[in-house]
Amino acid sequence: MTLSVDQLRQLKSNYAEQIIDSMDMDDLVMMAHDLLMDQYEQCSEHEMREEVEELYSEDMWEDLVEGVTN
């Protein structure tokens, strides 16, 4: 049997929910961190700055830079 595109999408969603339901909070936090890091590994410093300042603020960017330069 071959699933339709919609059926496969629903299967993937159901499977993702099954995985999430079986995780504890530490596992969920680790997964979120890993997913974000996968995305941010591809970003330049400029892109990271834009991201941080758009979601938070210039002050947050400066605090993060200070945290890795001091």
Mean pLDDT, range 5-25, rounded to an integer: 97
At residue 35 the predicted structure's pLDDT band, cuts being 50, 70 and 90, is very high
Neighbours of 29 (CB within 10 A): 11
At residue 3 the predicted structure's pLDDT band, cuts being 50, 70 and 90, is very high
Could you tell me the residue range of the domain that residue 25 belongs to? Answer: 5-69
For the chain, the domain total comes to: 1
> Who contacts 53 (Cβ-Cβ below 8 Å, separation ≥6)?
60, 61
**Average of per-residue pLDDT values in the chain:** 96
